[in-house]
Amino acid sequence: MKFPRVIVKTGLFLIFIMILIFSPSKSYTTPLQEDEILLRAQTFVDKAWEEYHLAALSGTLASPEIQVQIESDFRTLSDLLLELRLQKQSGKMKETEKILEDIEKIAEKIIVESRREKP
């Protein structure tokens, strides 16, 4: 018994679709703890940026030297965030916690420097 080509092709297509739908797939979700670390890091950076931006716009930064230092610190934060994401992807939790601590320290320094009043 021969089946028409259309029926065979349709049947194979449906089998392929069912395999895609029902086969176990690799999970692309990350553990909650890792997501929390990344969220906390981004929150620290956002708060530091808000403080700096407010001070820069209002002209209350203590000196041009402090502004240069803060901008350098933001470049460091950017590098640390990238490193944090890379470490998170590779599953190295101990390193991500250390990087988070560094981000927190630098962000806190930026906030303090941004709030410093002009002499």
Percent of the chain clearing pLDDT 70 (strictly above)? 73
DSSP 92: -
Does residue 86 lie within any of the structural domains? yes
Query: Which residues constitute the domain of residue 36?
Result: 31-115
Please give the full DSSP string across 39-87, using - where no structure is assigned.
HHHHHHHHHHHHHHHHHHHHT--S-HHHHHHHHHHHHHHHHHHHHHHHH
Chain centroid to CA 105: how far?
17
More confident residue, 93 or 44: 44
Chain centroid to CA 100: how far?
11
pLDDT bin (cut points 50, 70, 90) of residue 4 is: low
Query: Taking the CA of residue 3 as centre, how many other CA atoms within 13 Å lie in the half-sphere pointing to its CB?
Result: 8
How far apart, in Å, are the Cα atoms of 5 and each of 2, 12, 81? 9, 10, 55
Whole-structure pTM over 0.75, yes or no?
no
Per-residue pLDDT at 29: 39
pLDDT bin (cut points 50, 70, 90) of residue 26 is: very low
Does residue 82 lie within any of the structural domains? yes
Does residue 45 lie within any of the structural domains? yes
Per-residue pLDDT at 108: 95
Per-residue pLDDT at 94: 76
Q: Alpha-carbon distance 96 to 86, whole Å?
A: 9
What are 10-22's pLDDT values in tens digits? 666 667 666 656 6
More confident residue, 52 or 11: 52
Domain total in the chain: 1
Per-residue pLDDT at 22: 64
CB distance 62 to 119 below 8 Å: yes
Does residue 22 lie within any of the structural domains? no
Residue 36 pLDDT more than 70? Answer: yes
Does residue 23 lie within any of the structural domains? no
Q: Alpha-carbon distance 81 to 99, whole Å?
A: 8
Does residue 18 lie within any of the structural domains? no
Residue 57 pLDDT more than 80? Answer: yes
